[in-house]
Amino acid sequence: MIDLLKTSRTLPIGIDLGSTGARLLQLAQGRKGLRVAASARVDLTSRAAPDDPARVQELIEAIANTVRAGTFTGTNCIIGLDDRMVRTRSFRQPPMPESELAKAASLDGAEKLGFPEGQPAEISTFIAGEVRQGDEVRHEVVYVGAPRAPIETMVRGLMERGLRPLHVEPGFCAEARAFARTFQRAEDRLSVRVVVDLGWASSSVLLLRGTDIAFYKRLDLGGDQLTKHAAERLGLDIHAVADLRQRRMQASEPGHTPVDAKVDRAIYQVTRPLLNDLAHEVKLCMRYYAVTFRGIRPECCHIVGGEAREPGLVEAFEQALHIPAKLGDPLQGVSVQDAASTGRTRIVAGAPAPDWAVACGLSLRLSQRKSRRARRDATRTADVPPHGMVDERKVAA
């Protein structure tokens, strides 16, 4: 009865782990809809591998301190894995019950994903769609895995510092959830959208069919490569170029001064070939989807991630893909007027927030679990992994 009288329900803290640190976002559900209750950003100077023990410990401490210093409510959190930790690979298999598919994945999933023999890994699968081969129908099954040790270290470390991790999942699943929130009409079920995440260390391509994930691929091209390429071609210090690129991406935001036109043009000229390369890779992904599933042509391309505001990126995509492209706004329809922020954030009312897509989807992780069937569907398409995980049932026990 008490729950029925509450006007606002705070959702878990979404913790998006990335190559430069982490983004933390907590949403709240009220009578007027969703609002941003708190947000923060953790920036690390270390660019070590995501499973580097020293980096993991530094990140644990920084996240815990940020939560304590901020305006976050409660300790429940959902963790999104660094893309560099996650491996994916697609296989075409005969249709089989989910229980048999899960059993098969537990037996040979680590080997299929190329994990070293003897290295513990968490493995899960989801079905991207049906593929016709002659008269046969097969399932395009995507295997998803991550090394177990750094996951357990992160979860245990956050728990020891007072946080309560409920789930761990790859970031692309959270991104899909963030965009699925605004795609719930019956006529949206067959619509296809492309979501491209441009981060510091890498990028990724996600195709959504309705609210389902139909395709995912990680690409080894990110902001770091753009910075290094520009520094080399222009003969400038890499730190100076990194600063210039950051200022260029912030120039369109309120309160920021545009970069000198000549400097802006020079950086654009040397980075344009890489932007075109990325657009071409996205085009190949769309072609694979069209041939494999004989699917409907995507309607638009949403660009998200910490490097999404790279000038010229939207134009490069529209020219290569021949569909509308724009900055993705995972917080569309979410109130940010009273958002409490800690650290360097860029959530501005009325402006797209492409770098918060994963954190938004993570915070929404439990909001859509309204029934037993919804919980089963979410587990099939989003949880990585379903076995050996820390979830709300195990924590409560």
Query: Comparing C-alpha atoms, which of 307, 68, 303 is closest to residue 199?
Result: 307
Q: What is the pLDDT of residues 304-322, one digit of tens each?
A: 999 999 999 999 999 999 9
15-29, 55-69, 141-155, 282-296, range with the lowest pLDDT: 282-296
Give the residue-averaged pLDDT of 335-340. 70
At residue 372 the predicted structure's pLDDT band, cuts being 50, 70 and 90, is very low
Among all chains, which residue has been given the structure tokens 């545009």?
258
Q: What is the pLDDT of residues 182-200, one digit of tens each?
A: 877 767 777 999 999 999 9
pLDDT of residue 346: 62
Q: How does the average pLDDT of the chain come out, rounded?
A: 87
pLDDT of residue 337: 72
Fold classified for 1-84+146-182+333-397: Nucleotidyltransferase; domain 5 (3.30.420)
Which long-range contacts (C-beta less than 8 Å, at least 24 apart) are formed by 294-297?
294/132, 295/129, 295/192, 295/209, 295/214, 296/190, 296/191, 296/192, 296/209, 297/192, 297/323
Among all chains, which residue has been given the structure tokens 């441009």?
198
Please list, in sequence order, all residues whose beta carbon lies within 8 angstroms of the beta carbon of residue 224, skipping any fewer than 6 positions away: 19, 47, 200, 201
Alpha carbon separation from 293 to 49, 183, 287, 297 (Å, rounded): 35, 21, 10, 11
Give the residue-averaged pLDDT of 72-90. 97
pLDDT of residue 46: 81
At residue 369 the predicted structure's pLDDT band, cuts being 50, 70 and 90, is low
**Global confidence as pTM:** 0.88
Residue 274's Cβ-side half-sphere holds a number of Cα atoms within 13 Å equal to 23
pLDDT of residue 182: 80
**Containing H/E element for 230?**
helix 223-234
pLDDT of residue 383: 37
Alpha helix segments (H runs only) across 48-95 = 53-69
Could you confirm whether domain 185-331 is CATH 3.30.420.40? yes
pLDDT of residue 370: 46
* β pairing state of 203-209 and 192-198: antiparallel
Q: What is the pLDDT of residues 12-33, one digit of tens each?
A: 999 999 999 999 999 999 888 9
Please list, in sequence order, all residues whose beta carbon lies within 8 angstroms of the beta carbon of residue 107, skipping any fewer than 6 positions away: none
At residue 357 the predicted structure's pLDDT band, cuts being 50, 70 and 90, is very high
Alpha helix segments (H runs only) across 113-222 = 148-160, 171-180
Distance of CA 232 to the CA centre of its chain: 30
Pair 200, 222: CB distance under 8 Å: yes
pLDDT of residue 7: 55
2-6, 30-34, 187-191, 358-362, range with the lowest pLDDT: 2-6
Rg from Cα positions in the chain: 21
Residue 300, pLDDT > 90, answer: yes
Compare 346 and 212 and report the one with higher pLDDT.
212
Residue 371, pLDDT > 60, answer: no
Compare 150 and 371 and report the one with higher pLDDT.
150
Pair 6, 31: CB distance under 8 Å: no
Q: What percent of the chain has pLDDT over 90?
A: 73
pLDDT of residue 395: 33
Pair 279, 320: CB distance under 8 Å: yes
Q: Domain segments of the chain: what residues?
A: 1-84+146-182+333-397, 185-331
pLDDT of residue 323: 97
69-73, 201-205, 215-219, 384-388, range with the lowest pLDDT: 384-388
Q: What is the pLDDT of residues 267-294, one digit of tens each?
A: 999 999 999 999 999 999 999 999 998 8
pLDDT of residue 296: 84
Among all chains, which residue has been given the structure tokens 């902001």?
223
pLDDT of residue 4: 37
